[in-house]
Amino acid sequence: MNFTTTEPPFRFRQGTRPLLISMPHVGTHVPPALAARLTDEARHVPDTDWHLERLYAFADTLGASVLVATHSRYVIDLNRPPDGASLYPGQSVTGLCPVDTFDDTPLYAHGDVPGEAEIAARRNAIWHPYHAQLAEELARIRAQHGIAMLWDAHSIRSELPRFFDGKLPDLNLGTGKGMSCDPALADRLLSIAREAEGYTSVLNGRFTGGYITRHHGQPGQGVHAVQLEMTQSSYMQEALPFDYLPEVAAGVQPHLQRMLQAVLAFAEARA
């Protein structure tokens, strides 16, 4: 089937300091022709990383650049390799152009899943522009500051039996098992997360960083990347209508801010 979209692939605003915050899963747009093929459940795009722009509203005051996806991960997952290879071999995962939800229910009401030509069209329209912008901004930051920091912001329901047993830790830091950023920075971020009273944390646990972290994080070349996968219960309702909960979010925001300030301190000490 053909794929077209009238929405731009991302929103971007440039900052002044050596930090880029990427939000690849906050998009909710599904082109109407594609939405018509989805189930009623899927049209609610329940697996969105809801409200992260609002949660990270302090990013502008930090001087960070911010790159935000517009399309739902059901259209194409920007945190997957372009060839669709599994990030976690042997474990249950969703694909580059998913065909099922996190609850393992079908996305497509009549089974008309995308073929190779449609996947290629989605990749060309959305995936490639997002990653080109990401790479371009990291190169600009590194050229200007001598170092570039990438923070890949994510959130997920705290309990998803398909992917993990029990409740997920609240703050899941991923550095590609130590490959995508300086270990000293990872240790500093984990210490901040552990000091966050009332929140659990882990480094390179169930989530070690997706394609964005692993591909763009090149510490030997002056680009350090960290993924944070947060439990949505830390700031919002995890079920419909997926409302943002300002009083709950206010509890975790200072810890997020401390982590990003530590990222900037690390960069500026080495610039």
pLDDT tens, residue by residue, 45-83: 999 999 999 999 999 999 999 999 999 999 999 999 998
pLDDT of residue 1: 74
Give me the half-sphere count of Cα atoms (radius 13 Å) on the Cβ side of residue 73: 24
**Could you give the CA distance from residue 97 to residue 95 in angstroms, rounded to a whole number?**
5
CB atoms within 10 A of CB 10: 22
Convert the pLDDT of each residue in 216-242 to its tens digit.
Answer: 999 999 999 999 999 999 999 999 999
pLDDT of residue 95: 84
pLDDT of residue 88: 60
Convert the pLDDT of each residue in 12-35 to its tens digit.
Answer: 999 999 999 999 999 999 999 999
Burial class, 98, CB count within 10 angstroms (exposed 0-12 / middle 13-18 / buried 19+): buried
DSSP state of 107: S
pLDDT of residue 87: 66
Does the pLDDT value for residue 40 go beyond 60? Answer: yes
**Could you give the CA distance from residue 214 to residue 161 in angstroms, rounded to a whole number?**
25
Confidence of residue 164 (pLDDT cuts 50, 70, 90): confident
Domains of the chain, with CATH numbers?
10-270 (3.40.630.40)
pLDDT of residue 89: 60
**Could you give the CA distance from residue 4 to residue 66 in angstroms, rounded to a whole number?**
25
Does the pLDDT value for residue 94 go beyond 80? Answer: no
pLDDT of residue 161: 86
**Could you give the CA distance from residue 155 to residue 26 in angstroms, rounded to a whole number?**
9
What are the structure tokens assigned to 70, written together? 């517009």
Across the beta sheet with 201-203, the strand order is 10-13, 65-69, 19-23, 148-156, 223-231, 171-174, 201-203
Convert the pLDDT of each residue in 184-214 to its tens digit.
Answer: 999 999 999 999 999 999 999 989 999 999 9
**Could you give the CA distance from residue 107 to residue 268 in angstroms, rounded to a whole number?**
45
**Could you give the CA distance from residue 234 to residue 250 in angstroms, rounded to a whole number?**
9
**Could you give the CA distance from residue 4 to residue 16 in angstroms, rounded to a whole number?**
34
Q: Average per-residue pLDDT in the chain?
A: 95
Confidence of residue 91 (pLDDT cuts 50, 70, 90): low
- Matching residue, tokens 């731009």: 8
The C-alpha angle 155, 157, 160, rounded to 5 degrees, equals 130
Confidence of residue 84 (pLDDT cuts 50, 70, 90): confident
Confidence of residue 271 (pLDDT cuts 50, 70, 90): confident
pLDDT of residue 162: 84
